[in-house]
């Protein structure tokens, strides 16, 4: 997926095929969010009046690049996770043994399909403090790019968590579901609050 052109990727998303879907788009949003913060940091390094934050910006470039690359890989992981669930549904169910194996395989697939977007959401949230730093200390001519990075990161977090929630609805392991719902709720709250905090630091009124 990550090697497709923008045109190909958007066309495939728009098709009647189930993948790439919302989870993959969440990951792509995260990749773009990381890229924007990385860009602002790159536009700050080596610039006059920003010597004091140069080393910090270099570290941000490294961190943002790592997240950006991981997010692109997560596009593929999300598609693969969905395929695992579908493979389970395609299994035969003629005997009791087949039914049990099919049910077990589907449940295992659903947990993977919940875990992948959960990891996407967690990593997308890591972009937000990076965006905050580039908004506060980065090249002022690129402050809007830092703000968009924060907004896209929040979108990536919340949209990935939607995909976690829909899979939790079908998972029978109540302990896992309860534990994961708490993580989801906390991440949602953190992302929304962090975005507001960053946007409030905007010099644009």
Domain coordinates in residue numbering, the chain: 20-199
* Cβ–Cβ < 8 Å for 34, 63: no
**Given CA atoms 91, 93, 98, 99 in this order, what sign does their dihedral have?**
positive
Report pTM.
Answer: 0.92
* Cβ–Cβ < 8 Å for 169, 96: no
Tens of pLDDT, residue by residue over 18-29, are 788 889 999 999
User: What is the fold, at CATH topology level, of the domain defined by 20-199?
Assistant: 1.20.120
Q: Is pLDDT larger for residue 22 or for residue 165? A: 165
For residue 205, pLDDT beyond 80: no
Q: What is the pLDDT of residue 130?
A: 97
Euclidean distance between CA atoms 45 and 55, whole angstroms? 8
């Amino acid at each position: 997926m990550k090697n497709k052109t923008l045109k190909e990727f958007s066309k495939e998303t728009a098709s009647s095929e189930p993948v790439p879907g919302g989870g993959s788009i969440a990951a792509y949003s995260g990749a773009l969010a990381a890229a924007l913060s990385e860009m602002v940091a790159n536009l700050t390094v080596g610039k006059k009046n920003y010597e004091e934050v140069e080393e910090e910006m270099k570290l941000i470039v490294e961190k943002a690049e790592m997240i950006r690359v991981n997010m692109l890989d997560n596009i593929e992981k999300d598609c693969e996770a969905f395929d695992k669930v579908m493979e389970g549904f395609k299994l035969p169910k003629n005997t009791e043994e087949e039914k049990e194996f099919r049910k077990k395989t589907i449940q295992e697939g659903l947990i993977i399909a919940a875990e992948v977007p959960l990891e996407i959401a967690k990593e997308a949230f890591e972009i937000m403090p990076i965006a905050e730093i580039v908004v506060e200390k980065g090249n002022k001519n690129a402050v809007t790019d830092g703000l968009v990075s924060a907004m896209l990161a929040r979108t990536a977090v919340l949209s990935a968590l939607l995909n976690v929630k829909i899979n939790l609805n079908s998972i029978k392991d109540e302990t896992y579901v309860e534990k994961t719902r708490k993580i989801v709720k906390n991440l949602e709250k953190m992302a929304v609050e962090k975005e507001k905090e960053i946007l409030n630091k905007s010099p644009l009124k």
